[in-house]
Amino acid sequence: MRNVWLDLRAGFDFLLHHAAVLFAVLAMASGIFAIGCFGPLIAVHVRDNLHAGTTIFSLASALIGLGIFVGITFLRGLASRFTHTQLVFAGLGGMAFFVALLGITSSIPVTLLCCLMTGLFVAAVIVPAQTLLQTETPQHLLGRVGSTVMSTVFGAQIVGLLLSGELARFTSIRQVFEITSVTLLVLMVLGRVFLSHRAGTTMYPESAVPKT
């Protein structure tokens, strides 16, 4: 347990001293958090708000996965034209827009489009963020930082799953979608401010962590 704690601490120390990587981790965690929030509520949303059945629910769920697949495919071409950070910001903005639209629309075709586009923009967050993480992390810290990142990301997913139902009980499913959208927008603004203030942040010194 002591060794596990030391590895996690080394990973968190690196993240706290590297602005770009920290933003990438927060972006990934937010994207997975958003999926965790609205994913479990899609079935109830389709039944109660759209007054549709299992066919529409199945299509909505499948289109999220299809959107992620399409997004990964198209990111190869976009990666040569835009930076990883720009793609992450675009992904967060796109997710915020379509999740918000999902919360206000009562149209089945628009709902299906929102599911498809949300999945696409999830890919625009996750893929470049992971690439940024791997390219900016020193070789001897990849394992420790990677395990810390995965713990953070999957922890965000669990929090989203737990919160979505409770929030829907006290507010409504539509309001949960809007809250998720606002959360993504806030992260965009904070990320922009954070990166602009720490643009000169240097790499975490390799000598700060033992290589054994």
pTM: 0.78
In a domain, 118, yes or no: yes
Structure confidence at residue 207 (pLDDT): 39
Q: Can you give the pLDDT of all 212 residues of the chain as single tens digits?
A: 777 677 667 777 777 777 777 777 888 888 888 877 777 788 888 888 888 888 998 998 899 889 988 888 888 777 778 888 888 888 889 999 999 998 898 899 999 999 999 989 988 888 888 887 777 777 777 777 777 788 788 888 888 888 888 888 888 888 888 888 888 888 888 777 766 655 544 433 443 444 44
Count of other CB atoms within 10 angstroms of residue 158: 12
Domain region containing 87:
15-196
* DSSP secondary structure letter of residue 82: S
* Residue 36 identity (one-letter amino acid): G
In a domain, 72, yes or no: yes
CB-based contacts of 133, cutoff 8 Å, min separation 6: 21, 24, 25, 145, 146, 149
In a domain, 2, yes or no: no
As a residue count, the chain comes to 212
In a domain, 34, yes or no: yes
Structure confidence at residue 59 (pLDDT): 92
Which domain CATH number covers 158? 1.20.1250.20
Structure confidence at residue 77 (pLDDT): 74
CB-based contacts of 187, cutoff 8 Å, min separation 6: 26, 27, 30, 92
Structure confidence at residue 203 (pLDDT): 39
In a domain, 202, yes or no: no
In a domain, 6, yes or no: no
In a domain, 92, yes or no: yes
The Cα–Cα gap between 211 and 207 comes to 8
Instruction: Tally the domains of the chain.
Output: 1
Structure confidence at residue 97 (pLDDT): 94
In a domain, 73, yes or no: yes
